[in-house]
Amino acid sequence: MTGSLPTDAIRELDPPARLLMGPGPANAHPRVLRAMSVGLLGQFDPEFTEYMNETMALYRQVFCTKNQQTLMIDGSARSAIEAAMVSLLEPGDKVLVASFGRFGLLLTEIAERCEAEVILLDAPWGTVVPLETIEDAVRQHRPKLVATVHGDTSTTMLQPLDGLGAICRRYDALSFVDATASISGMALETDAWDLDVVSSGLQKCLGGPPGIAPITISDRAAECIRGRRHVERGLGNAAGNGRRIASNYFDLAMIMEYWSPERLNHHTESTTLIYAARECARLVLEEGLAARFARHQTASRAMASGLQAMGLTLYGDATHRMANVTGIEIPGGVDGEAVRKSLRQDFEIEIGTSFGPLKGRIWRIGVMGYNCQKHKVLITLNALETVLRQAGFKLPSGAGPDAALAVYRSVEAA
């Protein structure tokens, strides 16, 4: 066969021990990797379904919610976004998308694939969408759903959410938030902010692998979804009054029943990834949300201080920067991709570039989850300083790591 390799040329996996300091994925916590290595169980084994129940209980605390429907979608973080939107939106429904980066535009595309009518509030990249702008648009268009991203890693901006749910409830709209990049790294108050559906992923601040997506669903959103409940052939004859959800795999009406005591036979649950999700949440709650947020905030301040001390310019509105991903403008005359290549090949450190209008204009450095540690911040700044100097960029020797270390020492002394 053309292009095939002999079996003996395909060796056992031995990936480099790379430090993933980009916008995600980040390195998984060793405890999560150990949890993934334990034995498999059947999807209806009572031991395993109890692990599922425990995972639901843990993530209610992570999401800061009492929502009964707090569960996992098998797939990357995008799978939970698609499950939410395809299960809530019918053709012709109005959805208002507050977008300020690539992932807001992703919400737009998924809504369009649901044949919804999309009203797009598209803020300039490097800014966010003011809540008063959202309310004006909701008042004018009266959408069924208002969708946005909490932290958009493409621009490193954080959308204010406190007040979004209240706006939606004033005008009888549902709210959806993609919190993939922010969950457990920055405050997210699902119930206090009256958010209806919030989805996330493991691979960033939660310190796990991609492949499974936590989601929480309010009672009123669950009621909307159950109105479209149609159980697949061979499992029963129950049918809702609404239009059948277009996706079978991402049908939240059936997935919610699979996670309920009914245990509807929907899909074969990923035992290994449930173990991972469960351990991620245990780690978060052992540390405590407040302590975890503070750790990310300190690392963000240290990284930003170090970068600025090196003579680099941070990207975007300083008021709304994320606490776990920092954008840096690539200096004139510096080959951004050559810098990333040298960091990867010479130092085993990965940092990110960006997309669309920011492609080739910024780097993105992440400090999240297991990688949100002092020594990893300092190692990354030291390596970046070396690579930049070799690229011909003039910068004061040692200024970046010194500035970052000063931030950490001030926090430790407080």
Q: Strands 325-329 and 362-366: what pairing?
A: antiparallel
pLDDT score for 264: 84
Query: What does the pLDDT average to over 46-65?
Result: 97
- The closest alpha carbon to 160, from 322, 393, 333, belongs to 322
> pLDDT tens-digit profile of 137-162?
999 999 999 999 999 999 999 999 99
Q: For residue 241, what pLDDT is reported?
A: 72
* Cα 357 from Cα 205, distance rounded (Å): 26
| Over residues 103-125, mean pLDDT | 97
CA dihedral (219, 221, 224, 226) positive or negative:
negative
Tell me what the mean pLDDT of segment 5-20 comes to.
87
pLDDT at 1: 47
- The 10s digit of each residue's pLDDT in 173-205 is 999 999 999 999 999 999 999 999 999 999 999
Is 173 in contact with 98 (CB distance < 8 Å)? no
Shortest CA distance to 190 belongs to which of 202, 175, 180, 205? 175
Q: Evaluate whether 24 touches 368 at the Cβ level (below 8 Å).
A: yes
Please name which of 71, 54, 55 lies closest in space to residue 216, comparing C-alpha atoms.
Answer: 71
- Show the 3-state SS of the chain: CCCCCCHHHCCCCCCCCCEECCCCCCCCCHHHHHHHCCCCCCCCCHHHHHHHHHHHHHHHHHHCCCCCEEEEEECCHHHHHHHHHHHHCCCCCEEEEEECCHHHHHHHHHHHHCCCEEEEEECCECECCCHHHHHHHHHHHCCCEEEEECEECCCCEECCCCCHHHHHHHCCCEEEEECCCCCCCCCCCCCCCCCCEEECCCCCCCCCCCCEEEEEECHHHHHHHHCCCECCCCCCCCECCCCCCCCCCCCHHHHHHHCCCCCCCCCCCCHHHHHHHHHHHHHHHHHCHHHHHHHHHHHHHHHHHHHHHCCCEECCCHHHECCCEEEEECCCCCCHHHHHHHHHHHHCEECECCCHHHCCCEEEEECCHHHCCHHHHHHHHHHHHHHHHHCCCCCCCCHHHHHHHHHHHHHHHC
Dig out the tokens for 205 from the structure: 């601040």
* Tens of pLDDT, residues 209-258: 999 999 999 999 999 999 998 888 767 766 667 899 999 999 999 999 99
- First vs last C-alpha separation in the chain: 65
Q: What percent of the chain has pLDDT over 70?
A: 98
Rounded to two decimals, the pTM is: 0.95
Tens of pLDDT, residue by residue over 125-134, are 999 999 999 9
pLDDT over threshold 50, residue 357: yes
The pLDDT mean for the chain works out to 95
Percent share of the chain, pLDDT over 90:
89
Please tell me the distance from the alpha carbon of residue 292 to that of residue 289, in angstroms, as a whole number.
Answer: 5
Q: What is the pLDDT of residue 376?
A: 98
Residue with the larger pLDDT of the pair 119 and 262: 119
pLDDT in tens, 72-102: 999 999 999 999 999 999 999 999 999 999 9
* Predicted confidence (pLDDT) per residue in 323-336, tens digit: 999 999 999 999 99
In order of their start, the domains of the chain are: 30-285 (3.40.640.10), 289-413 (3.90.1150.10)
Q: Pairing relation of β-strands 117-122 and 94-99?
A: parallel
Residue bearing tokens 């409830």: 169
Please give the residue that has the higher pLDDT: either 242 or 50: 50
Give pLDDT, residue 239: 64
CA-angle at 274, arms to 272 and 277, nearest 5°: 115
Mean local confidence (pLDDT), 299-307: 98
